[in-house]
Amino acid sequence: MLKRQFLLQEGDVCRDLTFVEKGALYSYTVDSKGNQHVIRFAFEGWWMANLQSFFTGNPTTLNIEVLEDSELLVLDRDNHEKLLQEISAYETYHRIILQNAYTALQQRAENALGLTAEEKYKRLLEQNPEFLNRVPLNLVASYLGVSPETLSRVRGSFNR
């Protein structure tokens, strides 16, 4: 898929799990004022979907957009279920992926609620340094829940 194409748009039902072979994706919501709030990124070797919509069949509130030209493996629900039933290693792999995703989501919520902008940026550098080489700074700021001006100030204090 090409940069800026949508994999999923708000109001649609998420029907696929997507594995990033090459490239990058990101998910976000848009608030009533039109502000974008980045939820997560997916790079090579990562999965992306709106699991709530995928498992319930309800429309999504997320958008998933291609950040870099990407090569993707797309797995629909029927084939996902078939793989879970027929290949025990896939079931184990998927369970581990879900556990890791839940753990990361919980850590992200705790970081958003309890860390300063400086602490959030430091954790990002420690855990996902590729973000700064591949993601525009306005999206990094949104992901961290800070303004672009705050991110600029924080980055400046780290570069001294």
What pLDDT is attached to residue 160? Answer: 60
**Is residue 21 assigned to a domain?**
no
Domain span at residue 126 reads 116-160
**Is residue 18 assigned to a domain?**
no
Give the residue carrying structure tokens 């980055």: 155
**Is residue 84 assigned to a domain?**
no
Q: How many domains does the chain have?
A: 1
List per-residue pLDDT tens for the chain, 160 residues long.
999 999 999 999 999 999 999 999 999 999 999 999 999 999 999 999 999 999 999 999 999 999 999 999 999 999 999 999 999 999 999 999 999 989 988 988 888 888 999 999 999 989 888 888 899 999 999 999 999 999 999 998 876 6
DSSP-based three-state secondary structure for 32: coil
**Is residue 124 assigned to a domain?**
yes
Burial of 117 (C-beta count, 10 Å sphere; 0-12/13-18/19+): middle
**Is residue 24 assigned to a domain?**
no
What pLDDT is attached to residue 113? Answer: 86
What pLDDT is attached to residue 86? Answer: 97
Length of the chain counted residue by residue: 160
Helix (H) or strand (E) holding 157: helix 148-158
Are the beta carbons of 101 and 55 closer than 8 angstroms?
no
What pLDDT is attached to residue 112? Answer: 84
**Is residue 152 assigned to a domain?**
yes
**Is residue 10 assigned to a domain?**
no
